[in-house]
Amino acid sequence: MGPAELLDYDRAKLRGLVLEEGAATNHVAIVARALDIPVLGKVSGVLDKIEPLDPVIVDGDRGQIFIRPGEDIKDAFKRSLLAHREQLAKYAASRDLPAVTLDGVEVSLNVNAGLLLDIEHVHASGADGIGLYRTEIPFMARSSLPDVAAQASLYTRVLDAMQGKPVVFRTLDVGGDKVLPYWNNEEEDNPMMGWRSVRITLDRPMILRQQLRALIRSAAGRDLRLMFPMVAEVAEFDQARATLDLEMERERARGGNLPQSLLVGTMLEVPALLWQLPQILSRVDFISIGSNDLLQFLFASDRGNPRLSDRYDTLSPPVLRLLRSVAEQCEEAKVPLSLCGEMAGEPLGAMVLVSLGFRRLSMSAHSIGPVKAMVLGMDAGQVRDYVLTQLDSAAHTLRPKLRGFARDHGIQL
């Protein structure tokens, strides 16, 4: 199933999505979550176990599916849904409050988006903006490559719908597990580390030029924030930035209305860039860590492999030492730093990130409420002092200790 097929379903009737093949992190799942549909991925043999009209409960939070559930399970889920609704009401009450810790640290909470449908969730959650707009999702839902006018129209609608709230557009990030149906996609032995993302758009510069042209036109008279994904070396960023400058000059020459401001950043998700931080920091307006890809490359561990999914933890000492180092270098260079990834949307992970100096986080819209509740109840300095005492540990993970610290200090997770 592709994103376009999913969007064809009657949303009033589609209540859950279970994939026998494909992870819950693939592009179909991303679209499903934008529609507020719970998703389970890689459920082996599920098609052989379900008959048409079978009652099924899909628990996307716990990763569980119940086929033909008994009355006791149904009753338990009814109680769980009631408790969930009560919790949502509490989050809604603090929707318009700024996310500020007990010791006065301000944290910007943003949403990862990829569809116009996401924007209503941005406003409903009280998020500060969109920290990652995945421009590839509309490309995947089409039968042909969108032209400049189609792209510019979409980006204009996004900016209009955001009503002045900031949007960070990520340029086309395809390849790997994100395939365009109308491209001749060659098989690769290791597609996640292959010809993907900015490597494709630098090798096919007209695709990048057309997208940048569309973004520039959509932001006429407004602020434009964009970032390049999967940058592995400074030379790649320089090449992409030169393409952007070329398109800015082209638009200026044709008498177009340019963006009133332009901020250009890079994703930090390839470990090689960690050893080029001083050089890249002198070139960018901001950095956004893509923690999902960065950590799978760091540990040489396929995040879609169920045998490895629990083997390495984002809250392990080496990961936290790495993140602390990046935060310190960005602070010294006065370059804003954000993190978009599953770690940011988990209250425990967000607690640690704030303590290490991260002031901008981007996550799914439904994570904004729980993360804001955590931020409002934490003392960043107190958490930082504790985390620093644990960074030299040789433990596989600090998760149990951090959870215990949060519990002992009344931090809501």
pLDDT, mean over the chain = 89
CATH number listed for the domain at residues 3-86: 3.50.30.10
Lowest-confidence pick of 47-51, 124-128, 226-230, 363-367: 47-51
What pLDDT, on the 0 to 100 scale, is given for residue 129?
A: 98
Which one of 27, 121, 330, 366 is the catalytic residue?
A: 27
- Average pLDDT of the segment spanning 62-86: 83
The predicted-structure confidence for 221-274, as pLDDT tens digits, reads as follows 999 999 999 999 999 999 999 999 999 999 999 999 999 999 999 999 999 999
User: What is the percent of the chain with per-residue pLDDT over 90, rounded to a whole number?
Assistant: 60
Is the pLDDT at 23 greater than 60? The verdict is: no
What pLDDT, on the 0 to 100 scale, is given for residue 32?
A: 74
Contact partners, residue 202, CB within 8 Å, separation at least 6: 208, 236, 239, 240, 243
Confidence of residue 179 (pLDDT cuts 50, 70, 90): low
Is the pLDDT at 24 greater than 60? The verdict is: no
User: What is the percent of the chain with per-residue pLDDT over 70, rounded to a whole number?
Assistant: 89
Counting Cβ atoms within 10 Å, is residue 398 exposed (0-12), middle (13-18) or buried (19+)? buried
- Average pLDDT of the segment spanning 203-216: 95
What pLDDT, on the 0 to 100 scale, is given for residue 289?
A: 97
Distances (CA, A) of 60 to 63, 75, 77, 326: 5, 18, 12, 33
CA distance 341 to 114: 14
The predicted-structure confidence for 128-167, as pLDDT tens digits, reads as follows 999 999 998 888 777 788 899 999 999 999 999 999 999 9
14 vs 343, higher pLDDT? 343
Per-domain residue ranges of the chain: 3-86, 99-408
Which one of 84, 340, 366, 396 is the catalytic residue?
A: 340
Q: Would the CATH topology of 3-86 be identical to that of 99-408?
A: no
From the options 3.90.1010.10, 3.40.30.10, 3.20.20.60, 3.40.50.300, give the CATH code of 99-408: 3.20.20.60
The predicted-structure confidence for 184-194, as pLDDT tens digits, reads as follows 667 766 767 77
Sign of CA dihedral 60, 64, 65, 70: negative
- Average pLDDT of the segment spanning 305-322: 84
What pLDDT, on the 0 to 100 scale, is given for residue 111?
A: 96
340 counts as catalytic: yes
CA distance 234 to 246: 18
Is the pLDDT at 177 greater than 70? The verdict is: no
Is the pLDDT at 379 greater than 60? The verdict is: yes
Could you list the beta-strand ranges (E) of 269-381. 286-290, 337-340, 360-363
- Average pLDDT of the segment spanning 14-33: 70
84 counts as catalytic: no
